[in-house]
Structures are given as C-alpha cells and as structure tokens.
Amino acid sequence: GATEGIPDITIRILLLGDSGVGKTSLMMRYSDDRFAYSLIATAGVDFKVKNMDIPNPAYNASSALPLSPSASLSLSPEEREMRILLSKPFLKVRCQIWDTAGQEKFHVITRAYYRGAHAIVTCFDVTDGDSFRNIDYWLANIHTHTERGGGGGGVQTMIIGNKTDLQEKRVVSKEQGQALAKECGVKYIETSAKDGSNVNIAFEQLATDVVSQM
C-alpha cells in the first residue's frame, strides 16, 4: 500500500499558529486518523510521520523503457538514479509533520524549528477572531526566521482555518479566510480535526506543491 516501501523524498512540514487552534489535533488526525478532546500527553511529541503517494511532476514514461546494454553502461550512477526517479508515475513521499510543543504560547519559536522546512501551515481557529488576526504575526515570524520567506521561492505556505465543525460558534467566515490568504499569496483550506474534513486534502495539497517545486 501507500505506506510501505522506501520513500523517494522526505519533506518537513511545520505547524504554526496560536495555542489552542488545533495544531496538535490536526497532526494526530492526519498521522493516526484519530481525535482526542484532551491532549495531555502531547508535550514531547516532536513530529509524526506519514507516507503518501504524490503524482511525480517529472514523470517521463520513456524513462521506464529498457535501454540498450551500451546505453545503459554509459550512464553514470547519478544518471541511472535520475532515470529511475523519472520512470515513476508516483513518488513515495515521507511526510514529517512537526508540531510546536507549547512554545507558541510564549511566542518563542526559534530559528531551529524552521530549519530545513519545506512547507509551513499557519493555523487559526474559525471560532476565535484573535487567532485569525494573529496569522499576520505568524507569517511575519516565518519571514524573519527563514531565508526565503513565506509566500514563494522555496517554503510553501498555507493558511488553515480549523474547527469548521463548530458552525454555530464561527466568527471568521470562509470569505475572510480566503481574502487574507489571497492578500498573502498563499493557499487557504478549512478543516476540522474533529470530524476529519479536508485534513488529508490539505496535507496532500501541500506535499504536491512542495514536490512540484523541487
């Protein structure tokens, strides 16, 4: 299945956003497909891993055809490896989802947390206006701590509006979320870690964008 075998690529995805918006819950929903009301034991969980199959943007069917023995011998090991990679319609992507361990509460996300990130998900809670207004803060934080910034040019960034299952408590509309994301030049997806809606879609979208930028 999709979760077995040796990954072709490992990508590092970070979760950011105010305390309580559901970052740990999103990670658990995505990696283990479960949800817990109280997450007492989350301190100490640095990251979770999940493998997924992502369409190979560089797929080239002719790379899968056998070469003549002389052509095959003329390839360097790197060329041979590249050919194998190009012959795969799907890439096995090992997705490492990194969660903050509560340091977001004190706004002390360090440069080390950002190191090597391929993608960053900035999360807010659609029932919490402050968490939405703080998206600006988190995006600015990404810019200060990564060389290439948030929007384009390397680190893929996405805004997630979480807790859509709480429709009656909602204070941030989908349109507001979309408008902010558009302004920031990033994608916007609404999720519920509780009922699971859009969680896989969000991470798969992110991984697809990362892979297509490589």
Instruction: Using alpha carbons only, give the angle 47, 49, 55 rounded to the nearest 5 degrees.
Output: 135
Where are any strands of DSSP class E within 22-78?
47-55
Looking at 48-56, 114-122, 132-140, 158-166, which segment touches ligand GDP (CB under 6 A)? 158-166
Nearer to ligand GDP, 18 or 53 (CB): 18
The rounded distance, in Å, linking the Cα atoms of 99 and 47 is: 6
Q: Binders of ligand GDP among 59-98, rule CB under 6 A?
A: none
- Using CB positions, name the residue nearest to ligand GDP: 22
Our finding on whether 198 is near ligand GDP (CB under 6 A) is no
Q: Binders of ligand GDP among 161-190, rule CB under 6 A?
A: 162-163, 165-166
Our finding on whether 131 is near Mg ion (CB under 5 A) is no
Q: Which residues of 41-79 are buried (b: 16+ CB within 10 A; e: fewer)?
A: ebeeeeebebbbbbebeeeeeeeeeeeeeeeeeeeeeee
Q: Crossing angle for the helix pair 23-32 and 199-213, nearest 10 degrees? A: 90
Nearer to ligand GDP, 25 or 141 (CB): 25
Looking at 2-10, 22-30, 67-75, 111-119, which segment touches ligand GDP (CB under 6 A)? 22-30
Residue 213 binds which of ligand GDP, Mg ion, none (CB < 5-8 A, kind-dependent): none
Q: Binders of ligand GDP among 29-58, rule CB under 6 A?
A: 37, 39
Residue 25: CB partners within 8 Å, gap ≥ 6? 35, 36, 39, 162, 193, 194
Nearer to ligand GDP, 141 or 162 (CB): 162
Place of tokens 């997450």: 39
Looking at 8-16, 23-31, 89-97, 161-169, which segment touches Mg ion (CB under 5 A)? 23-31
Least distance in angstroms from the C-beta of 154 to ligand GDP:
25
Q: How far apart are the first and last CA of the chain?
A: 25
- Phi, psi torsion values for 174, nearest 5 degrees: -60, -40
- Are 129 and 170 contacting, i.e. CB atoms less than 8 angstroms apart? no
Task: State which of residues 14, 24, 95, 181 lies at the interface with Mg ion (CB under 5 A).
Answer: 24
Residue 154 binds which of ligand GDP, Mg ion, none (CB < 5-8 A, kind-dependent): none
Our finding on whether 25 is near Mg ion (CB under 5 A) is no
Task: Note the residues at the interface with ligand GDP (CB under 6 A).
Answer: 19-25, 37, 39, 162-163, 165-166, 192-194
